């Protein structure tokens, strides 16, 4: 009986085991979602391949996704402004710059002290390779001793050299100003001529100096292409030339003749005060919206304000005797400190 009892319990256990074994297989059969693969009769898994065909829309979406980077690269095609702007657009932008600079610098003026055309002519020749401030600090003693072309032409060169030594290159400059004084005495009756072709014949006088004199002593319009004007004209894309004569000719076609003299003052003022050669104060510039070179200098407003010069930075101007309406302080005399 005991053996049969041991057999009978084993049979239900075997049955249970087989049932249990069968039941796991049924979950395996429940895993017969693979049976959809069986009934899927490989063709119905082909319908999962239709989701693969639905992945074909994903191919189109994948194609759309790359096209979005293409669209993203199109925003990079605001490099299209990097394409050369039209001549008309450049002229309009240039004239707007001039108008806005007129509002920023309504007091723009020649920054050399002078009382007559002769003093302006001599001061302009002396301003080569130095600042207008240094010239203004030097010329009072020079003109006190030699007030006319005749006086300067008859001077002792060594005495003139000593007077203008602070301006640098004093020997070459002495030769120039004494030479032009003699030419004025001998060829023009001691008077400064009011024509470009006559002025450029004088020793040490080129087109830039001639236009300074013509525009500010005679009211004859002219474009003064100094280093500041050349730098800004290129930064603003008015020209690509490095030649002052070519720059003068190109800029002359952009602006009406009546604007030439004051345009020169405004551009030079802006170059000296804000748009410097090495560290332009871009963050403090009032015409950044018109400048294709914005970002060449300091763009942080606080840091840029520290770069401002002369009256824009709260410092004295360059003239010892500034004209009425100048908002800054007069420059100190020679040896008076800055």
DSSP, res 279: S
Structure tokens at 101: 């600079």
- What is the full DSSP assignment across 196-216? HHHHTTSTT--HHHHHHHHHH
Q: Which of 77, 226, 300, 306 is catalytic?
A: 226
Q: Which residues contact 273 (CB under 8 A, 6 or more apart)?
A: 308, 309, 310, 311, 312, 313
Q: Which of 187, 208, 243, 279 is catalytic?
A: 208
**Is 5 assigned a catalytic role?**
no
Angle at 278 between CA 272 and CA 282, to 5 degrees: 70
Coarse DSSP helix, strand, coil percentages of the chain, rounded to the nearest 5 percent = 60, 0, 35
**Is 187 assigned a catalytic role?**
no
Q: Give Cα separations from 274 to 9, 97, 150, 269 (angstroms).
A: 105, 14, 41, 8
Question: Residue 329 forms beta bridges with which residues?
Answer: 316
* Tokens 């030769």 sit on residue: 175
The set of long-range contacts for 160-166, using a CB threshold of 8 Å and a minimum separation of 24, is 163/138, 164/126, 164/138, 166/134, 166/137, 166/138, 166/334
Catalytic positions: 208, 226
């Amino acid at each position: 009986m005991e053996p049969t009892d041991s057999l009978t319990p084993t049979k239900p256990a075997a049955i249970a085991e087989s049932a249990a074994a069968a039941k796991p297989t049924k979950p395996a059969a429940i895993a017969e979602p693979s049976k959809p693969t069986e009934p899927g009769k490989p063709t119905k898994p082909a319908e999962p391949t239709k989701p693969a065909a639905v992945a074909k829309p994903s191919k189109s979406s994948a194609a759309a996704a790359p096209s979005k980077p293409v669209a993203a690269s199109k925003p990079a095609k605001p490099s299209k402004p990097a394409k050369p702007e039209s001549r008309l657009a450049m002229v309009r932008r240039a004239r707007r710059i001039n108008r806005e600079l007129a509002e920023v610098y309504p007091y723009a003026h020649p920054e050399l002290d002078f009382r007559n055309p002769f003093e302006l002519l001599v001061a302009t020749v002396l301003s080569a390779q130095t600042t207008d401030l240094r010239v203004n600090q030097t010329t009072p003693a020079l003109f006190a001793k030699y007030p006319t072309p005749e006086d300067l032409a008859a001077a002792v060169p060594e005495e003139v050299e000593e007077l203008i030594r602070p301006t640098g290159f004093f020997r070459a400059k002495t030769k120039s100003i004494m030479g032009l004084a003699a030419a004025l005495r001998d060829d023009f009756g001691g008077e400064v001529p009011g024509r470009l072709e006559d002025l450029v014949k004088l020793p040490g006088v080129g087109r830039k100096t001639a236009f300074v004199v013509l525009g500010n002593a005679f009211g004859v319009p002219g474009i003064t292409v100094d280093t500041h004007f050349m730098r800004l004209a290129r930064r603003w894309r008015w020209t690509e030339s490095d030649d002052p004569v070519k720059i003068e000719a190109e800029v002359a076609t952009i602006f009406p003749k009546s604007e030439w003299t004051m345009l020169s003052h405004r551009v030079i003022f802006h170059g000296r005060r804000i748009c410097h050669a090495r560290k332009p104060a871009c963050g403090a510039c009032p015409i950044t919206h018109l400048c294709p070179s914005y970002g060449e200098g300091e763009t942080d407003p606080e840091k840029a304000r520290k770069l401002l010069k002369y009256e824009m930075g709260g410092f004295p101007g360059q003239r010892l005797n500034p004209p009425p309406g100048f908002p800054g302080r007069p420059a100190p005399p020679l040896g008076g400190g800055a």
